[in-house]
Amino acid sequence: MEAKETINVKKGIRKNILRLLKTTVKVIIVIIVYVLLSQVLAPASVFIPGLQDMIATFLLVYVALMVVSDMFSGTIFQHFFSGARSLFVIAYLIFSLNSGLLDYTFGNVKLIIDVRVFLEVVMLLELLGFAKSMMQAVNFVSGKVELTVI
Amino acid sequence: MIVPIRIIGIAGAVCWIILIAFSASAIYSMKDIQFNLGQPQISIVENSELLFSFPLSLTNTGFYNLRHFNLCTGVMSRDGSEVARGFTLIPFIAQGQTINATHDMKLNSTALLGSNQDLLFNDSELLVNETASMNAAEVVPIQASSYLSVPWGAPLYDLMFRTPEVSVYNATHLLTNVKFSFENHALFGFTGSLRIRIYSDAGVTIGGGKTIIEASPRSPYSGNIEIYASSRAVARVHFEVLLTTQFFKYGPLEIVYGS
């Protein structure tokens, strides 16, 4: 009995370490993408003030939700946090991109950038991600129910 | 259910990668678009309108093609009325291509100077609204607009008529020589005629004359006009001056001489 418990604890520790590693790798990938994007987008920062801050804030919240979601891996909350992340991305982009019409003024020059097409594609992808999270939640619950019935 | 979820996940990830790569490269490409507007060439077209032709050069060395490059220029007088408008559309600029075009703008000087006669005599400023727009990477509309003021040089700056020099021409007529001068501060030269009529106190025409004016751009001009007038003794006369050029008409200006 004790031996079985020890094995379970070991399994649990290994599982948690793997989860942590997986999350760390994901965060590192996101940070690498951010650093690369920052360098590519550096020329645009001249024309779009606050672009770097906007991306940094977005990534901070995105990574936080991703970490929380991964920490709750194996529970139904993982899918809820994943769905919340998708809704956050939609809401954040709508607000930060001013509904897709960016309007900047430099001295006597007014610049308008219409990124509605980009926003629409992102919203569609995030809605797809949200639907996926809900499907995963349903799948998770149905799996639990099947186990209980058996 | 696991398989559809995985397929959705993979499809979503692929779409995200494509979207991020496209967005980043499209924004990065913006720095490789060069736009130059040169000094204007001025010519005269039908209805005595001034045609300003700006050489326009657009170089696209970015990753994507550009569509619907549109340059629109509107010139307004100080009262806000539009006096000139120019419009240039380049439908497609391929990646790596340089397009040279001209941005034409017609200025109806007759209308401008007719409604704002002080622009004939006083240097001023005109308000220019410049708007450039295009579809970057073919799908991202971008528009930049700017208000700036450009100097307006008066074509008849400091117009002055000197005191007429009167001499006896014959028993019935006097020869009156009127010297005049002005500075043409405008970008354009003009030719025209200056007519002067002399009226007696009673309003009867006692003489008149005409001279041709050829004023070069940004240069002073001086001339004189000889008028043969009846030698009937009149204590007080008034001159009526009428200036007609291909761009504007001015007058009648009344100048009174005598006591």
pLDDT in tens, chain A (150 residues): 667 777 778 887 888 888 888 888 988 988 888 888 888 777 777 767 777 788 888 888 888 888 888 888 888 888 888 898 899 889 988 988 888 898 888 888 898 999 999 999 999 999 999 999 999 999 999 888 776 665
Best probe of the B interface among A45, A111, A124, by most B CBs < 10 A, is A111
Min Cα separation A37/chain B (Å) = 7
Q: Identify which of B23, B152, B18, B10 has the alpha carbon closest to the alpha carbon of residue B75.
A: B152
pLDDT digits (tens, 9 = 90+) for B173-188: 888 888 999 999 988 8
Find which of B74-83, B113-122, B146-155 is predicted with most confidence, using mean pLDDT. Answer: B146-155
Q: Identify which of A81, A125, A137, A16 has the alpha carbon closest to the alpha carbon of residue B12.
A: A125
- Identical fold, B28-152 and B157-258: yes
Given B12, B144, B148, which is nearest A125 (Cβ)? B12
Residues of chain B contacting residue A131, judged by C-beta atoms under 8 Å apart: 8
Q: Answer whether 0.80 is exceeded by the pTM.
A: no
Topology (CATH level 3) of domain B157-258 = Immunoglobulin-like (2.60.40)
Q: Tell whether the model's pLDDT for residue B233 goes beyond 60.
A: no
Q: Identify which of B253, B189, B183 has the alpha carbon closest to the alpha carbon of residue B220.
A: B183
Q: Identify which of A27, A121, A135 has the alpha carbon closest to the alpha carbon of residue A80.
A: A135
CA distance B208 to A121: 78
pLDDT of residue B252: 83
Helix (H, G, I), strand (E, B) or coil at B161: strand
Percent of chain B topping pLDDT 70: 98
pLDDT of residue A10: 82
A and B: number of Cβ contacts within 8 A: 75
Q: Do A43 and B19 touch (CB under 8 A)?
A: no
Question: What ranges do the domains of chain B cover?
Answer: 28-152, 157-258
H-state helical runs in chain B:
2-29, 109-115, 118-121
Indicate the CATH number of B28-152 among 2.60.40.1820, 1.10.290.10, 3.40.630.30, 2.40.240.10: 2.60.40.1820
Helix (H, G, I), strand (E, B) or coil at A73: coil
Q: ipTM beyond 0.95?
A: no
Residue B185 phi, psi (nearest 5): -90, 0
Q: Identify which of B12, B246, B177 has the alpha carbon closest to the alpha carbon of residue A82.
A: B12
CA distance A148 to B3: 23
Percent of chain B topping pLDDT 90: 27
Q: Which residues on neighbouring strands pair with residue B33, listed in sequence order?
A: B60
Q: Do A110 and B5 touch (CB under 8 A)?
A: no
Q: Yes or no: say if B258 and B236 are a contact pair by the CB < 8 Å rule.
A: yes
Q: Do B1 and A139 touch (CB under 8 A)?
A: yes
pLDDT of residue A74: 81
- Tokens read off for A39: 């360098």
pLDDT of residue A127: 94
Q: Tell whether the model's pLDDT for residue B236 goes beyond 80.
A: no
